[in-house]
Amino acid sequence: MSTSLEQLVELLNSEQNSNYGSLDELKKILESEEDLLSKCLVFTFDFFSQNRADELKSRFVGKKSPLQDLLKSLKNIPAEERKGAGQLVNQTKQAMENAVTKFLKTYEEHLEQTKIASENEDITLPTCFAKLGSRHPISVVMRDLLVPFQRMGFAVVDGPEIDTEFFNFDALNVVKEHPAREMQDTFFLASEWVLRTHTSNVQSHAMKERGIPLKIVCPGCVYRNEFDMTHVPSFRQIECLVVDKGIHMGHLRHVINELLSAAFGRPVKIRLRSSFFPFTEPSAEVDVECQQCFGKGCRSCKHTGWSEIGGCGVVNRKVLENCGVDPAIYSGIAFGFGVDRIAKDRFAVADLRSLFDGNVEYLSSFSLT
Ligand SMILES: [Zn+2]
């Protein structure tokens, strides 16, 4: 018997279904149908369109496919062969459905791979949504402050932020009764340990460890129990110390001039105002002309026209002695500046606290690099 699936269905539905044949012949017809599907799938893969894929599915495994018609027509074959024929047709139907599903999945993967290959994208490129950050105003000032120091041959040294009372106070001639040692001004840790209140603690460490002559600068974080428009509990200072023979206030003035011009990025008017610090004698406060009102007086400078940047002076003889240096031979100069204060003045920031509240939009308004 040489017939197609359609012919077989027609035969079964006709009156002469006694010519149906045998299970072997049915098997051959079904194999032929499967083979035809397989060839069509190969062709469709090369000339794929969604319509063609839908037609193929409908023709071979759809509700109106010849295979479905055959299932319905099996009722017309002799009862003793109906069960075997039904199993055969169902197995073939399942195999063909699997083949179509597998084909569609394979084609989908093929499309994805083709798309990736054709796009040829450089996935290492930054996205157009990437936002570049900018330097924090304080980082910029700190960087600019260190430039003249390095040009003048200073060594940049680090110091401990947690230190003993001896190095933070006693070695610097700050007596036990000094107000700076009050609990409300200083963060005390365990017995005799404090968060350093100034970078001056590096002075005694450096003199003891490095010896004389000494020419150092120490940038770092310091801590005080203060919080208002011009004070924050954690802030940065930069400490300068020179100890050698014949060092005097003239050297101090020169270094300060060099430093503040670099820190502000332009020449600024400064003044040294006589003051007192236990670790220097004579001592002076360093003031810079207010960069918001330029001397006229405003809220930021408390209507003085000047902004206090830090303290300076000739190193007290007692400090030198405490650190094993003979004040009869050597003398020294030292100063400590508040880096945050300089940033506040340079960038005309009204409230120092706004530099630390994490407002990225505000900080990026400086557009610093
Ligand atoms: Zn002012």
Which residues have C-beta within 8 Å of that of residue 33, sequence separation ≥ 6? 5, 60, 66, 67, 92, 96
C-beta of residue 61 within 8 angstroms of C-beta of residue 93 = yes
| CA of residue 348 to ligand 1 center, whole Å | 10
- The enclosing H or E element of 111 equals helix 79-119
Phi-psi category of residue 305: left, alpha or beta, with phi > 0 → left and psi -120 to 50 → alpha = left
| CA of residue 300 to ligand 1 center, whole Å | 5
pLDDT above 50: residue 191:
yes
Please tell me the least confidently modeled range out of 35-49, 174-188, 315-329: 174-188
Dihedral of the alpha carbons of 115, 118, 123, 124, in degrees to the nearest 10: 170
| CA distances, 61 to each of 11, 53, 70, 202, 316 (Å) | 21, 12, 12, 87, 101
The CA distance from 319 to 21, in Å, is 119
User: Widest CA span of the chain, in angstroms?
Assistant: 135
| CA of residue 196 to ligand 1 center, whole Å | 30
| CA of residue 352 to ligand 1 center, whole Å | 14
The CA distance from 284 to 274, in Å, is 4
| CA of residue 256 to ligand 1 center, whole Å | 21
Q: What is the pLDDT of residues 154-168, one digit of tens each?
A: 999 998 999 998 889
Which residues have C-beta within 8 Å of that of residue 284, sequence separation ≥ 6? 272, 273, 274, 275, 311, 312, 313
Sheet containing strand 331-338, edge to edge, reads: 155-156, 214-223, 234-244, 331-338, 306-315, 280-289, 270-277
Q: What is the pLDDT of residues 245-300, one digit of tens each?
A: 999 999 999 999 888 888 888 888 999 999 998 889 999 999 989 888 888 988 87
Q: What is the pLDDT of residue 154?
A: 93
Q: What is the pLDDT of residue 130?
A: 66
Most confident of the ranges 12-26, 233-247, 341-355: 233-247
Q: What are phi and psi of 288, to 5 degrees?
A: -115, 140
- The enclosing H or E element of 339 equals helix 339-346
The pTM (predicted TM-score) of the whole model is 0.59
| CA of residue 350 to ligand 1 center, whole Å | 10
Which residues neighbour ligand 1 (ion) by CB within 5 Å? 290, 292-293, 298, 300-301
The CA distance from 363 to 358, in Å, is 8
CATH class, 137-364 region: alpha beta
| CA of residue 269 to ligand 1 center, whole Å | 13
Q: What is the pLDDT of residue 286?
A: 93
Q: What are phi and psi of 109, to 5 degrees?
A: -65, -40
Is 250 buried (19+), middle (13-18) or exposed (0-12) by CB count in 10 A? Answer: exposed
| CA of residue 67 to ligand 1 center, whole Å | 94
Average pLDDT estimate for 92-99:
91
Domain residue ranges of the chain, discontinuous segments joined by +: 5-119, 137-364
| CA of residue 289 to ligand 1 center, whole Å | 8
| CA of residue 344 to ligand 1 center, whole Å | 12
CA-nearest of 142, 148, 133 to 369 is: 133
